[in-house]
Amino acid sequence: MTVFAKLAAFDPLLVYILIIGFFLGFSLALSFATRRYIDNQTRRGHNDIAGYIFTTVGAIYGVFLAFLTVIVWQNYNQAADNVTKGASASLALYRNLCLYPNQEQAGPAAETLLALIHSTITDEFPAMAEGKRSQAADQITDRLWAEVKKLNPQNFREQVLFQEILQHLNTMVQLRIDRVGMAMNPRFSGLMGYALTVGALITLISALLFGADNFWWQIALTSMLIVLVATILFVLIQLAHPFSSQVGVTPSDYREVLKLIKN
């Protein structure tokens, strides 16, 4: 698990404060060091060059941020959509199993499906939050396949239901494979996170190269830039880990399925 995945698992407010504190500390330290070792008049004499560098760096970093934001947002929506579709397929599968005429064959499969839904909520989602897969859910899934294989349709109605059962089961299992894959191999890798951090630091350094008449006014303006960059990084970290962040995707859809089944 990367540093950014660990940060996503912490309290969001604490993470937000830590990110802002890190960049503010870096900015203040660099500002005082620049003021001490580089004469302000010298920096003011190079404001035109510093402005060109800052504009170029800001444009490059902005494009990089936009590119990652699109990827992260699509991945988050895909994860949320996956959970919703998986829960719907589970509900449809359970109802078809309950409608199957031969309940001696379909009953055990329905009970196993209920156990899998419970395991998804209590075992699989906590495991995905740590970037792992649930062995318990794997075993129950295998048992569900074995129970469905025991179905032996004898008439047209049973054959139609059997086809729908297989379709919903395949859909549910495929969505589960995709969901676990997204949790174990997030698209927002540690390399991207480090690249974002380095890009943010370079952008801040470029902003501090300007020579201003009022030192504290420059600090105030730079701090506004820091808060903006830190906010974007915070949102990206939270959305990039949809199953481990505190504002990520939850198994609420599966809980709703259990409520519908019990009713």
* Model confidence pLDDT, tens digit, residues 77-133: 999 999 999 999 999 999 999 988 888 888 899 999 999 999 999 999 999 888 888
pLDDT of residue 212: 66
pLDDT of residue 194: 83
Domain that holds residue 190: 3-262
Residue 68 pLDDT: 85
User: Which DSSP string do the residues of 51-85 spell out, in sequence order?
Assistant: HHHHHHHHHHHHHHHHHHHHHHHHHHHHHHHHHHH
Tokens of 213: 């008449």
pLDDT at 257: 92
Q: How many domains does the chain have?
A: 1
The residue count of the chain comes to 263
Taking the complete model, does pTM exceed 0.85, yes or no? no
Give per-residue pLDDT as tens, 183-239: 887 766 667 778 888 888 888 887 777 766 677 777 787 888 888 888 888 888 888
